[in-house]
Structure 1
Amino acid sequence: MQKEQAPIGFTLEKNYDSEFCGSIPLHLVNLIQRHGFLLTLDKQNLKIRQVSENASEFLNLPIEDIQGRPIASFLPNEQAEDLKSKIEGKNSQEKIPFTLTFQVQGQEVAFTALVHPTEEYVLIEIEKAKLPTETGTFIQLYQQTKYITSLLKQANSIEEIAQITVEEMKKLTGFDRILAYQFDPQWNGMVIGQAKEEDMEDYMGLRFPASDVPKQTRDLYLRNPYRLIPTREYKPARLIPVINPITQRFTDLSECNLRSVAGVHLEYMANMGIMASMSLPLIIDDKLWGLISCHHRSAIHPSYELRSALELLSDIVSTQLAAKEREKSIELRAQLRGIHAQLLEQLYTTSNFPDGLLNGNTKISELLNLSGVAVLYEGGVWTEGQVPSNQEIKELVFWLKRNQNTAVYATDTLPKQYVRAKEYHEVASGLIMMSINPEQAEYVLGFRPEVLQTIHWGGNPDQAIQMEADGKSYHPRNSFTRYQNTVRHTSLPWLPEELEAAEALRSAVLEKIIRERY
């Protein structure tokens, strides 16, 4: 059986989650992008102790005339008092948005500021405010957000939610291409929604290896509502002084949207043919579920207001995705509970439980989507459907006794876990085991056949990272041309609801055995 595209939960043969990429300290770079500037304030007196070197470009002042001064000396009294009271009233690291009017050399300049209070200091990210005519008024953004939300609520599937999201966000933002990714269990990202200009490369349905978004980057997405790169051709601005005078360490920029980007990612963008990007996390149950990735072929700088609208939309999309996943799960659980009830009735109306599982109108194979079942009990072996030979089953049970001590064990890559299973991978690439009495080698075993799956990649994943001779420097792949490989010795994945059903069935079988014996 050949399927055109592997499902999101499919286990791949190789782990592409690079430990090397995931170990780089992205939050301690001491550099920011130049579309804004950064101030580090002493939390006690709100004096500016550290400043990005490009602040002079925004304030038209030398760095030495900025450093050491209280931030209140630049602001109207009301704003200075408001800033002070809100910082003092915040014990968490929640980001506080402000509109600040800097008074510099007799002129007033409006900025949008994002304030990050920490235990030891306060970080302030500052960008020049844009006029409403440049970005759309609050009312316009609110109306568009409400409209998109109403469309999302009508969606019937995760894929439909993803497609509505990218199409409407493209209209809202003007980005050339917007993709919706879902992470698979091994952190490879699969494109499940796409809206793009006609002459741009088509990535729909492609997987991108986990090394494209390594672990540390994924962790930072849990702390940042978005990641914006208005242009990859910026020259990073240093923090002055290099060492934070308050902590005597590098300043932690984990929370900062202005944080500079690793050179390898800018190279990745160039290879992809894009100048600017913006990414928004999709978070479900405090875990990174996926990303919305916006691409543009020229420099683009969305306003703070538009970014805030997109941040809100990504939260709404995450909520809708979670609701759709729960809905699917509830429907499947209800279906499995009905099958379980019928099996339970058969168990208690047959003389032995193997017959109740295998020979009635309802079978265990229907409950767990199996192609074959073997029950080992009191020295006997009962089988139904496509299963390995009795000798192969006994050898498998011997391996299970030695290596698996859980009540229920499931794998969709049995030949990779147990080498002998390669000899019968056609019928048993997937295994679910329910232990009855392991000491006596009594088990219920369910099998799934090998399903050959074609994986479509955005470029060759084995060339995702190209190391230089020094073993330290590396480059991203320079081609995103569709690349295919076929995964073997793998079955369809086991769903969480199926594992729960297996647990419940095992408990019912044990209860029947105990009642009969005692």
Structure 2
Amino acid sequence: MLHVDLTNCDNEPIRIPGRVQSHGFLIAVDQDLKICFCSENTDTFLGEAPGALLGKPVDVLNSIGDQEEDMAGIIRRAAQLRKRDNTIPTGAHRVMIKGQALNLVINPAEDYLLAEFEPEDSSLDADLQQMVGRSLSEILADKQLDKLLTNTAEQVRRITRYDRVMVYKFHTDGHGEVVAEAKNDTLESWLGLHYPASDIPRQARDLYKHNLVRLIADVNTEPAAIVTNLNGQTGASLDLTSSMLRAVSPIHIQYLKNMEVASSFSVSIRDQGELWGLIACHSYSPRFINFNQRESAKLVGQVLSSAISFRQQEEDQQKATRSRTVVEQLTRNLLRNTPVEEALIKYDVTFADAIESTGAALLFENQLYTIGKTPENDFIERLITWLEDKMESSIYATSNLSADFPDAAEHKGMASGLLACRLSRELDEYMLWFRPEVITHVTWAGNPEKNIEVDSRGMQIISPRNSFEAWSQDVKYTSAPWSKHDTDTALLLKDEINYSISRKATELRILNEKLREAYAELDSFSYTISHDLKNPLTAIKSYSQLIVRRFELPEQVKTMVERIEGNVVKMQDMIDEVLNYSKIGQAKLRVKAINMQKLLDELRRDMIIASDNPNLRLEIKETPEVHGDETMVLQVFSNLVGNAVKYSGKSDIP
């Protein structure tokens, strides 16, 4: 029993269905131009069963077709062109087989060439190419996108005469919406209806990017199986990605039958290489459009794609200009040598203005800064901790934060959407932008959660839309989506910030180098000065010692000479300390306990002797012991007391 529901649509092998639509037939040849695959309905068109073709050279086709036809030559030239420059001739070759006009189209399929034949007769009698030419100018007359899409639907319906023509837009999550429609008056409108992503699953959307037109001529016909003479292989192994006759998924056939649609035709709409949407045409009776007419209709899709891309680029350019102006102002702030956080949040223009949001947060150097409407800091800190494990790249963006981080549900009014940009993985620094909840009322074409039903035999059958009655729901906990432009702006601002940090780090290294040079110059200067000062001191000390040894001196004079020698020693120590002071940070101070009473008594005696003021009186009270470098402490008090003695001598106070 085959269990089919929408959950396995993404795994269905629609590229290798092993069948083709039965309104045409297929032959596949290998590099040696031997027929390796063919559809089982060849006898309907050629009068020859597959067994008469498989394993034969492609020349066998010429003996089957009308005498003047060279089908083998068309295929051979395509194979030669593919070998030479890996291209395949586009367009259809009109051939006659058994009196019937067919279009032969060549397409690649890995190691094979697909030769596909389908009727030239069409359900359309008019010259579609001329009609398309006249309609394009009308389609492009509207500058507003919604009017452009509506006009496109109307013009395509006029050209193809399908019962319903829709412009179907894919949203970022893959689900579709009918954004424009033209229909018969008797049909119910589907404008504005949404369809879940499983209706057109991922691999089908990928094929729409490769094949820009897709025809399903009649959903009620049985497809023709592909057979092969290759051992160990089946027709299902032939890749039909490029095939115009590729059979339709049984799931999609049932889907169309549920809608009572007998035939469909679609034209892809692309925006910058990605699938933007489809021009989807439905007919409630079988309908066939031949190859050349489909190619003419494809032109409508290509022109519409260009128009949408142009308008989207125009809108993106306007947003980019606004964001670039903000980023340029922030960059100027960063170049002012102000701290990074101030450059981003303290001026009239802040980093929150770079991206449309209602609030923003910056985590920098372990400090959290917020702007605008944001959740409390505790929540933001927990969010950042979660982001550290969640983010695999520099950017994380979601319009439904609570789906990934449930704690965000209680902050839906401020943080339903989040754009996070990591400045540094090593330091866990981030910029965050928040967007509030925007409740969206969505009308689905039936309940999107109802996937399968069980028939009277107990078989599970696909039933995505047995009833297409509108089914509405309010989508909550979601914000306006973030665009590629938003993420690009965040990354640009990140680069500017990191450049500023790098530049400041470079400036700091340059400053450190200059400081090292200054230290070296100070060392040289200090050594020179100390050396020059020590020479006369050494002479004073030497002469003092000679005087004491050679002359008989009164005790009072001897005491003075000894004081001279003592002060010379102190002066030499002070010079050494000056030299050591110049090396502060390079050498340690000699810290010890200092008897301040003794130090100050000696200082007082020196001051009294050196002073010319007979009224000088220095009083020293009880002083505590201190800890420090003795010479430097002496220098401090020498300067302090010396200044007091110097300036008190000018005072008139007795």
Alpha-carbon separation, structure 2, partners of 1:383 and 1:36? 65
Residue among 127, 136, 139 paired with 2:126: 136
Stretches of structure 1 that go unaligned for 5 or more consecutive residues are 1-16
Alpha-carbon separation, structure 2, partners of 1:122 and 1:291? 28
Matched, 1:282 2:272: no
8 Å CA contact 1:93–1:116 kept in 2: the answer is no
3-state SS, counterpart of residue 295 of structure 1: strand
Residue among 76, 79, 96 paired with 1:88: 79
Which amino acid in the other structure matches residue 322 of structure 2? Q
Matched, 1:72 2:62: yes
Does the C-alpha gap of structure 1 residues 285 and 75 become closer, same or farther in structure 2, counting only changes over 3 Å? farther
TM-score normalised by L of structure 2: 0.68
Decide which structure has the larger Cα Rg and report it: 2
Residue among 307, 310, 313 paired with 1:323: 310
8 Å CA contact 2:6–2:462 kept in 1: the answer is no
Residue among 465, 468, 471 paired with 1:480: 468
Residue among 213, 228, 246 paired with 1:243: 228
Which amino acid in the other structure matches residue 102 of structure 2? F
Residue among 7, 11, 18 paired with 1:30: 18
- TM-superposed deviation, 1:437: 4.8
3-state SS, counterpart of residue 90 of structure 1: helix
Matched, 1:361 2:348: yes
The residue aligned with 2:115 is: 124
The residue aligned with 1:340 is: 327
Alpha-carbon separation, structure 1, partners of 2:424 and 2:32? 66
- TM-superposed deviation, 1:429: 1.7
3-state SS, counterpart of residue 280 of structure 1: strand
Residue among 373, 381, 387 paired with 2:360: 373
- TM-superposed deviation, 1:70: 0.4
Residue among 375, 379, 382 paired with 1:388: 375
Structure 2 counterparts to residues 5-16 of structure 1, below 5 A:
none
Question: Greater share of helix residues, 1 or 2?
Answer: 2
Which amino acid in the other structure matches residue 124 of structure 1? A
Alpha-carbon separation, structure 2, partners of 1:192 and 1:255? 29
8 Å CA contact 2:170–2:176 kept in 1: the answer is yes
- TM-superposed deviation, 1:493: 1.3
Report the more deviating stretch, 350-359 or 384-393: 350-359
Alpha-carbon separation, structure 2, partners of 1:380 and 1:471? 62
Which amino acid in the other structure matches residue 103 of structure 2? T
Report the more deviating stretch, 484-493 or 391-400: 391-400
Matched, 1:101 2:96: yes
Alpha-carbon separation, structure 2, partners of 1:389 and 1:362? 23
Which amino acid in the other structure matches residue 98 of structure 1? H
The residue aligned with 1:432 is: 419
Which amino acid in the other structure matches residue 29 of structure 1? P
Report the more deviating stretch, 244-253 or 162-171: 244-253
- TM-superposed deviation, 1:212: 0.9
Alpha-carbon separation, structure 1, partners of 2:207 and 2:81? 22
Greater length-normalized contact order (CA 8 Å, ≥ 6 residues apart): 1
8 Å CA contact 1:211–1:464 kept in 2: the answer is no
Matched, 1:174 2:161: yes
8 Å CA contact 2:400–2:417 kept in 1: the answer is yes
The residue aligned with 1:12 is: none
3-state SS, counterpart of residue 440 of structure 2: strand
- TM-superposed deviation, 1:318: 2.1
3-state SS, counterpart of residue 414 of structure 2: coil
Does the C-alpha gap of structure 1 residues 351 and 42 become closer, same or farther in structure 2, counting only changes over 3 Å? closer
- TM-superposed deviation, 1:181: 1.5
Which amino acid in the other structure matches residue 30 of structure 1? G
- TM-superposed deviation, 1:233: 1.7
Does the C-alpha gap of structure 1 residues 84 and 507 become closer, same or farther in structure 2, counting only changes over 3 Å? closer
- TM-superposed deviation, 1:176: 0.8
Does the C-alpha gap of structure 1 residues 514 and 114 become closer, same or farther in structure 2, counting only changes over 3 Å? closer
Alpha-carbon separation, structure 1, partners of 2:450 and 2:405? 29
- TM-superposed deviation, 1:385: 1.5
Deviations 1:34-83 (A, max 9, x none): 3223334566456x665444443344667777775701112434634641
Which amino acid in the other structure matches residue 28 of structure 1? I
Residue among 361, 385, 395 paired with 1:398: 385
3-state SS, counterpart of residue 507 of structure 1: helix
Residue among 101, 111, 117 paired with 1:110: 101
Q: CA RMSD in A?
A: 3.2
Matched, 1:499 2:487: yes
- TM-superposed deviation, 1:262: 2.8
Matched, 1:215 2:177: no
Matched, 1:200 2:195: no
Report the more deviating stretch, 59-68 or 454-463: 59-68
Alpha-carbon separation, structure 1, partners of 2:27 and 2:72? 18
Which amino acid in the other structure matches residue 97 of structure 1? A
Question: Greater share of strand residues, 1 or 2?
Answer: 1
The residue aligned with 1:447 is: 434
Report the more deviating stretch, 371-380 or 175-184: 371-380
Alpha-carbon separation, structure 2, partners of 1:45 and 1:514? 63
Which amino acid in the other structure matches residue 89 of structure 1? Q
Alpha-carbon separation, structure 1, partners of 2:124 and 2:223? 26
8 Å CA contact 2:442–2:474 kept in 1: the answer is yes
- TM-superposed deviation, 1:169: 0.5
Which amino acid in the other structure matches residue 39 of structure 1? I
Alpha-carbon separation, structure 2, partners of 1:412 and 1:126? 48
Does the C-alpha gap of structure 1 residues 474 and 346 become closer, same or farther in structure 2, counting only changes over 3 Å? same
8 Å CA contact 2:61–2:72 kept in 1: the answer is no
- TM-superposed deviation, 1:514: 4.4
The residue aligned with 1:11 is: none
